[in-house]
Amino acid sequence: MHKKDLQEIAAHIKACDLSRPYYYICYSTQEGTEVYAAVRHLQEAGANLWIDTEANLMQGDGYNSSIFAALRAKNCCGLIFFMSQAAMTSAQCAKEMAYLKSEPFLADHDAQFPVLIVEMEEIPEHDDEVWVEGLLYQKYQADELSPAESERIQKYRDKYNAKIGRMTTKFDVAESILPFLLAHEQGRIAYDAANRADELKRLMTY
């Protein structure tokens, strides 16, 4: 789907009510169509969600400033990760996950900040570690990050969180995300779930 078409779909997503508890959405835009549909379904069911659409990005602030402010806010009560190969190898998703261990974030949140996982593809036996160290290693261990991705990670490290590891390949990105999933997972929606959005709504606690 073209970027313009995605933007038109995203325009129908409601702005997050920052005065109430909400969940932050972490995803790859490669699954934008499915993720936006799930977000709209959840919003119609009463869920309060923050996703990086125009309605939620703060005017005058940079993209990273907006997303990290949304994560850091005290009303952010959890993160929903739409898990796929694209998300696991996304430098942006890696930065968002790593922010959960940054000093600014931990100043306002418990170290056990909950992450709900929505499988966008089948993870055999829901074993993230075997999936990452097996399939993702085979596919991405020699797939180098683009100069732009490397630069974004370096800027993030310099400005927000010096603790993030150095990455040169897409597998490095996946390997950096994995520990956060293992440490923070509070629930999971399987790929073959009958209705992922409805099951996810039942897992969300405010």
Domain coverage including residue 146: 3-203
* Strands of the sheet with 115-119, listed across from one edge: 49-50, 22-26, 76-83, 115-119, 185-189
Q: How far apart are CA 61 and CA 63, in angstroms?
A: 7
pLDDT-based confidence at 137, cuts 50/70/90?
A: very high
Res. 7 pLDDT band, cuts 50 70 90: confident
Domain count, the chain: 1
Dist CA 56 CA 18 (whole Å): 9
Residue ranges in the chain assigned as alpha helix (H): 3-10, 32-44, 63-72, 85-88, 91-98, 103-106, 128-131, 137-140, 147-159, 170-184, 196-203
The closest alpha carbon to 115, from 68, 56, 176, 178, belongs to 178
Residues of the chain with pLDDT > 70, as a percent, come to 95
Q: Which CATH number do you get for residue 8?
A: 3.40.50.10140
State the chain's mean pLDDT as an integer.
91
Check whether 2 has a pLDDT greater than 60. no
Which pLDDT value is given to residue 196? 85
Q: pLDDT category, 156, cuts 50, 70, 90?
A: confident
- Residue 80 exposure: Cα atoms within 13 Å on the Cβ side: 29
